[in-house]
Amino acid sequence: MIIYFRSLPNLISLGRLVLVPAIVAMIAEERWKEACIVFIIAGISDAVDGWIAKTFDLRTELGAYLDPLADKALIVSIYVALAIVAVLPATLVILVVARDMMIIGAFMISLVMRKPVKVKPLMISKLNTAAQISFAAMVLGVKAFGFPAGMWFDVSLYCVAALTLASTAAYIGQWIKHMNL
């Protein structure tokens, strides 16, 4: 039983990864209520696995890779799916995807050059992830429950874009410093 509890944050992250294709399929089929509910569950699981890992000192090296991978898979997949069904502008989705591709690329270059970067999320990145997840949940909520999009949509969109740019700049700056460029 202790072994399972020790693995609980990682199992929650794996569960979030498993939910990604289901949410994308629901968006593609315009099953908005189901997509919204499952997405909110996936988003909450991100907070829960982190809280459990920190509170009970269950942080692992696997979790340091698995949690951000699950976050990236969830966010990128949902944003791309929402752009394909013309709910989000392609420019925002390109920005979100490009950020993650740059981070992954920098991480892989560091490994190839034998200068591995320690996986440690920055505060701006945590804010960015929270904003991206919240915005996607709000967009799905609008589609699922017929709430008016209104001005909050544009304000939230620009906030997500700004945080995504700031997070990208922070990670690139940190990577440049790490690589002694």
Reported as a single tens digit per residue, the pLDDT across 88-122 is 999 999 999 999 999 999 999 999 999 998 878 89
> Mean of the pLDDT values across residues 44-70?
91
Give the residue among 72, 77, 93 at the shortest CA–CA distance from 25. Answer: 77
Mean pLDDT of 85-89: 97
Residue 27 CB neighbour total at 10 angstroms: 24
The span from the CA of 84 to the CA of 92, in Å, is 12
pLDDT of residue 4: 66
Catalogue all structural domains in the chain, each as residue range(s) with its CATH number.
Answer: 2-178 (1.20.120.1760)
What is the structure's pLDDT at 6? 80
Give the chain's length: 181
Q: What is the distance between the alpha carbons of residues 14 and 143, in angstroms, rounded to a whole number?
A: 27
Q: What is the pLDDT of residue 61?
A: 87
**How far apart are the C-alpha atoms of 33 and 144, rounded to whole Å?**
4
Q: Which residue has better confidence, 120 or 14? A: 14
* Tokens 């995807």 belong to residue: 97
**Using CA atoms in the order 101, 104, 110, 116, what is the torsion angle rounded to 10 degrees?**
160
Torsion of CA 60, 173, 165, 70, to 10 degrees: -20
pTM for this predicted structure: 0.90
pLDDT tens column, 116-170: 988 788 999 999 999 999 999 999 999 999 988 889 999 999 999 999 999 999 9
* HSE-CB of 156 using CA atoms within 13 angstroms: 17
